[in-house]
Copies of this chain bind each other. A is one copy, B any other.
Amino acid sequence: MGGTVSVEAAAPSRPMRADARRNYEAIVRVAGEAFAEHGTHASLDDIACRAGVGPGTLYRHFPNRDCLLEAALVESRYKLQELGARLLEADDAGAALDEWMLALARHANTWDGLADSIAQSLSNEKSPLGASCGTLVDATARLLEQARHQGAVTADVTARDLFVMSGSLAWAADRAARGSGEDELPRLLALLMRGIR
């Protein structure tokens, strides 16, 4: 609790050689740019190259794509968890749940294809991305519990359901695209949330 979670906190074991740490951070930074530009399927070779390291170095630090996605999302997810804690103390638990779902969907829309990567990782025992997203499901469970307590939600729905639905919402908003690049998320969310009251 509290304190600052920096990118380095996600690094393995304890002591890291200076050059190793430098490479690690360069890879994460470049990866963020590449994912933003080409989606979560950006070429890992290209990321290694742009970070000035060989492909082997990338694979040493991040044995698979999920590991790299996870590392590149650490800060963003930390902010999300802060929001979750704040929303847990809100008066209107129903509105808090709405806001949380919207924040989850926006997070899943950080990069093209991220909603899919996250949802897939969720049922993958060995995925670090799935593991860390589990904490988001937990936060969702706490908010759902409160909303139920206040009678704001009566439908038979699980936290896992809601988490997956926030992803499907992100997926849908990306593809609804009615001409101009409007933000479809709030509209679609409202439609969905009416269903669980």
Write the residues of chain A forming the contact surface with B, with a CB cutoff of 8 angstroms: 116, 119-120, 122-123, 155, 157-158, 160-161, 164-165, 167-169, 171-172, 175-178, 188, 190-197
Contact = CB atoms under 8 A, between A and B. Distances in A.
B155 A191 contact: yes
A139 to B, nearest CB: 18
Which of A160, A168, A172, A188: most chain B CB closer than 10 A? A168
Nearest to A157: B191
A165 B155 contact: no
B195 A176 contact: no
B116 A177 contact: no
Contacts of A177: 123
Contact of A194 (B123, B167, B172, B194): B194
Contacts of A171: 116, 119, 167-168, 171
18 contacts: A120-B175, A123-B177, A155-B191, A155-B194, A160-B178, A164-B175, A165-B188, A167-B171, A167-B172, A167-B175, A168-B171, A171-B171, A190-B195, A191-B195, A191-B196, A192-B192, A193-B195, A194-B194
Contacts of A158: 178
Given A165-B191, A193-B195, 14 more contacts: A116-B116, A119-B175, A122-B175, A155-B191, A155-B194, A160-B178, A161-B191, A164-B172, A164-B175, A165-B172, A167-B171, A168-B168, A168-B175, A171-B171
Contacts of A161: 176, 188, 191
Nearest to A189: B195
A181 to B, nearest CB: 12
Contacts of A172: 164-165, 167-168
Nearest to A191: B195
Contacts of A167: 171-172, 175
A194 B191 CA distance: 9
